[in-house]
């Protein structure tokens, strides 16, 4: 079943890459693989749920509540709903970002409240909305209907939002099965040193979510918190996603707003993005040599 899910995941990505050739919207392909991967996983938990994945606190709580199917309850209420909450925060941020980009460039800071970034984006959107409503009373009807937040919301590409939802669901199913953690450990065992592992994790994050990969990397190494490796891993995981347009929220937003084709980006921009990514790695390593 694991190979079946991986095959569906890979075929889905091919369909996304060949969107214009197949004439099937990328959002439809992403939603399909997201739902199908989770459905296969939940139906075959006896085979696919990693051993030891259920924490002791959940087993204790399930025993108190007399839960009959612990595996299914854990997969749906803990793994899936937790993933859905994370995806929702990303989608709210993306929707706010795509709307604000239609109006004005904005920077969101969370240093004061420590709330998730999407809350800052929603605040920015609310303020802009109120201001645009107040200003719109001084405009004629034609200008009012073509500007402002409502007009921008109508121009937001909802298929890109649904596409991101499907991709994150599909990747989340791989994380729930422990495949991403296994991939990170395989990289650690196969590649010659930690620096190469960090670079590889960054490149892989262009296809899958970097959060479980980085989490696995953190578990694999026990260096001090101020070790130089963590800075390299943070750079790679945060930047490597831009090597593919679907590897970051900003890239997905650009696909929707500017109607950028996946294959065009792969041919025209990806080589430059990879070159910049590798150059950044060399700069970090050079800084390490100079400072130490």
With bands split at pLDDT 50, 70 and 90, how would you rate the model's confidence at 105?
very low
The residue ranking higher by pLDDT, 53 or 102, is 53
Q: What is the pLDDT of residues 14-54, one digit of tens each?
A: 887 777 777 788 788 888 888 898 888 888 888 888 877 88
Give Cβ neighbours of residue 221 (< 8 Å, ≥ 6 apart): 194, 229
Q: What is the pTM of this model?
A: 0.65
Q: Check residue 101 and give its pLDDT.
A: 53
User: What sign for the dihedral angle of Cα 170, 99, 102, 28?
Assistant: positive
Q: Check residue 256 and give its pLDDT.
A: 67
Q: What is the pLDDT of residues 232-278, one digit of tens each?
A: 888 888 888 788 877 776 677 677 667 777 788 888 888 888 899 99
Q: Is the pLDDT of residue 222 over 80?
A: no
Q: Check residue 279 and give its pLDDT.
A: 92
10 Å CB burial of residue 25 (0-12, 13-18, 19+) is middle
Listed as own residue / partner, the contacts of 23-30 with beta carbons closer than 8 Å and 24 or more positions apart are 25/159, 26/159, 26/163, 26/255, 26/262, 27/159, 27/160, 27/162, 27/163, 27/166, 29/166, 30/162, 30/163, 30/164, 30/165, 30/166, 30/167, 30/170
Q: Is the pLDDT of residue 65 over 70?
A: yes
């Amino acid at each position: 079943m694991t190979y079946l899910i991986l095959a569906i995941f890979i075929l889905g990505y091919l369909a996304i890459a060949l969107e214009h050739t197949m004439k099937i919207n990328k959002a439809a392909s992403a939603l399909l693989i997201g739902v199908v991967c989770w459905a296969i996983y939940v139906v075959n938990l006896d085979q696919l749920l990693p051993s030891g994945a259920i924490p002791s606190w959940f087993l204790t709580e399930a025993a108190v509540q007399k839960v009959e199917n612990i595996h299914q309850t854990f997969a749906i209420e803990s793994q899936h709903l937790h993933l859905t909450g994370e995806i929702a925060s990303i989608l709210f941020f993306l929707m706010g970002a795509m709307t604000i980009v239609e109006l004005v460039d904005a920077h969101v800071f969370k240093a004061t409240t420590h709330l998730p970034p999407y809350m800052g984006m929603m605040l920015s959107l609310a303020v802009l909305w109120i201001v645009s409503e107040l200003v719109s009373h001084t405009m004629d009807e034609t200008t009012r209907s073509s500007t402002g937040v409502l007009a921008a919301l109508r121009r937001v590409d909802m298929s890109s939002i649904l596409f991101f939802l499907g991709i994150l669901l599909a990747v989340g199913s791989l994380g729930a099965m422990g495949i991403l953690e296994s991939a990170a450990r395989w990289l650690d065992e196969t590649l010659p040193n930690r620096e190469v592992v960090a670079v590889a994790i960054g490149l892989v994050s262009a296809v899958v979510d970097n959060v479980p990969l980085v989490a696995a990397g953190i578990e694999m190494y026990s260096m001090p918190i101020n070790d130089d490796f963590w800075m390299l891993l943070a750079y790679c995981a945060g930047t490597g996603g831009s090597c593919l347009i679907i590897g970051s929220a900003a890239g997905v937003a650009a696909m929707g707003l500017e109607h950028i084709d996946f294959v065009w980006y792969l041919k025209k921009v990806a080589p430059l993005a990879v070159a910049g990514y590798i150059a950044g790695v060399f700069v970090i390593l050079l800084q390490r040599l100079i400072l130490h």
